[in-house]
Structure 1
Amino acid sequence: MVYQGSKNRLAKYIVPIIQKYIDENNIKTYIEPMCGSCSIIEKIVCENKIAADINDELIALLKYVKSDPLLYIAPNDCNFEHYADVRENRKLGTGKYSKEYTALIGYCGSFGGRYYDGGWGRDKTGKRNIYKERVVNLKEDSPLLQDIELRCCDYTAFENYKNCLLYFDPPYQGTKQYSKQSINYEEFYDFLRKLSENNIVLISEYSMPNDFKCIWQKERKVMQKSDRIVADKAVEKLFILE
């Protein structure tokens, strides 16, 4: 799934690090409290895997994709008029479209995976059908979700868990926040410190407080601007509490 902040392109670096912690510490439960598109957890091997997100529409879509690999609810094509209709009914809360259908059109039809926030997805040549490409991508995700328990909840729902490995991929501080959650970062850092007392906790971010140690980093280009041509340089990092 094309998703704002997705780690899909970085998974080949991050997954082996997480997997090593799981294997060397005999971890039985792996949790992603901010799972997004599940691009990391779907590649992890662990006895129990839990993916959670506060975005109820996202979780509804992931549950549907898990249950229906053929995506019968997906229309053969989606034009701007239909995309705009789903977006407007979502805004008004009419209930005309289900949560999973709203999410499907939003993630497959929006520009850059911005979910109704970046406009209609199209390329400059007009030769690509971005919607169809993303529906195919969603179908490919279905078998990868089969061993994952999906939950809709806030990250604090895992505060009492023990002997787990939790990987957090929050909206980065100083970048565009997701519509379903606004994070108080000082409270978030304190939560991670408390959670680390009984678990292994890894966090993706650009920077963290000094008591968190960077264990991996890689420079990459980030397309934040609407023209999708000019890219900013950013250094992706993975942290653990020292």
Structure 2
Amino acid sequence: MRKTPHLVQYQGSKRIIAPEIVKFFPPSFDRLIEPFSGTCAITIFSAMKGLCDEFWINDINEPLVRLMEECVNNPLKLVETYENIWGGQFCEGENNIDYFYKIREEFNNGAKDPARMLFLLARVVKGAVRYNSNGELNQSCDKRRYGTKPSAISNNAMTISNLLKNKTLFSSLDYKEVLASAQKGDLVYMDPPYQGTSKDDCIRDNRYIQGVKFEEFVGELKKLNDRGIDYIVSYDGKTGDKIIGKTLPESLELTHIYINAGVSAQATLNGKNEITYESLYASKNLIKKQENYEQMELCFA
């Protein structure tokens, strides 16, 4: 089976469970929109499977969007610049760990170019990005490895570019602006920051530059329902028997599915062997379309 290309191992990426998620996509749609794109796993997988020919990648994390845009539109430049930065850690007299923190400081001080972003993502602990209250990257360096080799970056970047070039719009807008621009015929896939990540919540999660308020998000989904826009949401879930976060309200008339995301890394650290399940919500109009399509298939079988 052909593997889905990716630039880096990115914590929270839906790359592994993308085949399960797209099972709930409609049989045809005009454009795929990701308002919380991250490293675009669902967009890349959808393009690889030929599910549609137009994509909109958006994330409030502008350096991350710029990285993906450079990967798609200028992959050779990205790889060449990354190789120069990656190779710098091996220069005579250079300590590779100190070098990481030097690049991180340059990035936080304004040198937010795509190649630096890529190098930092490739070397952070567990591929897990962390931000301080000022929105600066503050995750530690993984001392056991040097980051993804440029040859691997090159192969994946070229593949991603071939899949998405001249087909993709890039932006770094508030998700509400993106949803307001969605049209009938679009499919919106959302993987928002999970609950407990908003600035006014009791718990701040430094995995995200900006959180999403639960009630505000529910209101935006209602607007999509009212406008007849198809959407799918990945939002929290459960580990073992423990439900994580509030479920989206029944008033939205969503179909709620649990997708097996594998053994929980955190549970393993705690000496437990528990499976994590991601919650997936499909809009009511989308499910109706699937049911009608399945009935049509039966008629012509």
* TM-score range for the pair, normalised by the shorter chain length: 0.7 to 0.9
Pair 1:219–1:55, CA change in 2 (3 A):
closer
Equivalenced residue count is 230
Aligned to 1:109: 123
Instruction: For residue 136 of structure 1, report the CA deviation from its aligned partner.
Output: 4.9
Aligned 8 A contact 1:66 1:142 in 2: yes
The structure where helix makes up a greater share of residues is 2
Structure showing greater Rg: 2
Indicate which of 150, 153, 167 corresponds to 2:173: 153
SS of the residue 2:276 aligns to: strand
Aligned 8 A contact 2:57 2:65 in 1: no
In the alignment, is residue 83 of structure 1 matched against residue 112 of structure 2? no
SS of the residue 1:15 aligns to: helix
SS of the residue 2:148 aligns to: helix
AA aligned to 2:250 is N
AA aligned to 1:38 is C
In the alignment, is residue 209 of structure 1 matched against residue 226 of structure 2? no
Identical-residue share of aligned pairs (%) = 25
- Structure-2-length-normalised TM-score: 0.67
Aligned to 1:166: 188
The ranges of structure 1 where at least 4 consecutive aligned residues each deviate by more than 4 angstroms after the TM superposition are 224-232
| Residues 62-211 of structure 1 aligned to structure 2 (within 5 Å) | 62-70=68-76, 71-74=79-82, 75=84, 76-77=86-87, 78=89, 79-91=96-108, 93=109, 95=110, 97-115=111-129, 116-123=137-144, 129-132=146-149, 135-136=153-154, 138-139=156-157, 140-146=159-165, 147-158=167-178, 159-163=180-184, 164-174=186-196, 176=205, 178-198=207-227, 199-205=229-235, 206=237, 207-211=247-251
Aligned 8 A contact 2:67 2:118 in 1: yes
Pair 1:183–1:189, CA change in 2 (3 A):
same
Structure 1 residue ranges without an equivalent (≥5): none
Quote the RMSD (CA, aligned, Å): 2.8
Pair 1:89–1:218, CA change in 2 (3 A):
same
Mean alpha-carbon deviation: is it higher for 36-45 or for 226-235? 226-235
In the alignment, is residue 3 of structure 1 matched against residue 24 of structure 2? no
Aligned to 1:235: 277
Instruction: For residue 160 of structure 1, report the CA deviation from its aligned partner.
Output: 3.9
- Structure-1-length-normalised TM-score: 0.82
AA aligned to 1:105 is F
Offset from partner CA, 1:27-63 (integer Å, 9 cap, x none): 2122111111111111222132111111110011111
AA aligned to 1:68 is N
Aligned 8 A contact 2:17 2:261 in 1: no
AA aligned to 1:170 is P
Aligned to 1:61: 67
AA aligned to 1:222 is S
Aligned to 2:31: 29
Tell me, in whole angstroms, the C-alpha distance in 2 between the residues paired with 1:142 and 1:179: 26
Tell me, in whole angstroms, the C-alpha distance in 2 between the residues paired with 1:226 and 1:81: 31
Aligned 8 A contact 2:258 2:277 in 1: no
Indicate which of 35, 39, 42 corresponds to 2:41: 39
Tell me, in whole angstroms, the C-alpha distance in 2 between the residues paired with 1:228 and 1:69: 41
AA aligned to 2:41 is S
Pair 1:230–1:101, CA change in 2 (3 A):
farther
